[in-house]
Each structure stands twice: as structure tokens, then as C-alpha cells.
Amino acid sequence: NAGVTQTPKFQVLKTGQSMTLQCAQDMNHEYMSWYRQDPGMGLRLIHYSVGAGITDQGEVPNGYNVSRSTTEDFPLRLLSAAPSQTSVYFCASRPTATNEKLFFGSGTQLSVL
Amino acid sequence: GQQLNQSPQSMFIQEGEDVSMNCTSSSIFNTWLWYKQDPGEGPVLLIALYKAGELTSNGRLTAQFGITRKDSFLNISASIPSDVGIYFCAGNYNNNDMRFGAGTRLTVKP
């Protein structure tokens, strides 16, 4: 089992560029989410999805879009990157919205210049 | 939002020593979880706690769900070099929004 797979591992963008961070899970989990990790701030929830076709905002959604067309995939889109979005991004999934045990991907380190 | 205060921020200990860290919140959580993050990897679940007062062990790790439901503790006994990493507490605010502490960075000197 691959678990939660994120690509790319590293990315450098210029301010204003757009890009998509990919996330896929092969565990048939209903719930998927995106977090960003910044020094001294822990992990903060950006967006989440409780199932295919359903997405919702988390704690820090501004500047990010998501979609959930399949159970397996949950891409995160930055439409116009800003230096404040420099961070490490983690995708995570869990079996259902009521099961608290999150499984994390290995992260994407993003730098916006 | 619901904030978790995790302490200490970092710890430098000798191999074999015991470690304690804790997490507090101004609000009640229904579930507390403890994760460990190795460098370059995502966090991995260590222990999940579901009831106030619950004490749960996983090998050398023991965690407790505070009786007030506003705090949790993690203890590591007889630390070894592979315990190095960042430990995060997490509280389940509601089923769709899990909040994380800022982490405790643990260094173990051989």
C-alpha cells in the first residue's frame, strides 16, 4: 500500500504563478484534507473533503482552491502564488469524517519568491 | 479558532532519560491525539485518546486525556536516539476540523 502520495516533493514559484499540488490515496478513505505547516504554528487546516464531490473550507482557506472529483484524488490549487504561501504542505486522509486517525503524506515544500 | 498550547517547544535530553510534554486548550476537545514527525516526513499517529481521564500506552509511550478535557500529556520512558523528532498534539474540535499544537522538538543525545 502506498498510502497517501504527494507530488511534487519540492517546488519553487515566482509571485503570481499558479500551480497544483497533487494528492492521491489508495486506502479508499472518504475524508481528505490539506494542511500547511509553518514554524512555531503547528499544522493548520486549509480545505477538506468528506467525500467525492464535497469540499469545504478549513481554518486558512484564502488563496487556495480544491476539488474532489474522485475518492482517490484531492488536488490543491494556488491560483496566484504569494510569498506568504511559502510553507510545507501536507495532504492527509482518514477512513471517514468520524474516524479521527489521520494518515499523512510526506509533504511538499513550497517556496514563493 | 480553537488554539492548542503545547510545551515545551524543545527538549534536549540524554539517552535513557524520561520525557514529558503536554498540551492545553481553552476549550474542550472530544478526542486527543499524539503524532510524531520525522525529518522530511509527514506526522505519524502514536496514540489516540477518546475519554476524559483515559490513560493509554504504546510501548514506551504513555498518554493521558485530562480530566477537564482541556489538556493531554505524553510521556516517553527510557528515551532512545530514534525518539528524535517533533511531537504534535492534536485535538478534535469537530469531526471536520482537527487542531494541532505547535509541536515539541525532541533531541536525544547518545
- Are the C-beta atoms of residues A50 and A30 closer than 8 Å to each other? yes
Residue type, position A40, single letter? G
Instruction: Mention every residue, 6+ apart, whose C-beta is less than 8 A from residue B59.
Output: none
Mean pLDDT of B57-64: 96
Chain A residue numbers with beta carbons less than 8 Å from the beta carbon of B35 are: 102
- Given this model, what pLDDT does residue B95 score? 66
Cell of B101: 499544537
Q: B79-91 pLDDT, tens per residue?
A: 999 999 999 999 9
Say which amino acid occupies B27.
S
Grid cell for residue B15 = 539517552
C-alpha–C-alpha distance, residues A98 and B27, integer Å: 20
Average of per-residue pLDDT across B12-26 = 96
- Three-state SS at B55: strand
Question: Which of B9, B33, B103 has the CB atom closest to A100's CB atom?
Answer: B33
CA distance B25 to B74: 15
Does the distance separating the beta carbons of B102 and A40 come in below 8 Å?
A: yes
Chain B residue with Cα closest to A105? B42
- Beta strands per DSSP E along chain B: 4-7, 10-14, 19-25, 32-37, 44-49, 55-58, 61-65, 71-76, 85-94, 97-100, 104-109
Q: Are B4 and B23 in contact (CB under 8 A)?
A: yes
The mean pLDDT value for A61-80 works out to: 97
CA atoms within 13 A on the CB side of A105: 30
- Residues in chain B whose beta carbon is closer than 8 A to a beta carbon of chain A? 1, 4, 6, 9, 31, 33, 35, 40-45, 48, 88, 90, 92, 95-103
Q: What is the pLDDT of residues A7-22, one digit of tens each?
A: 999 999 999 999 999 9
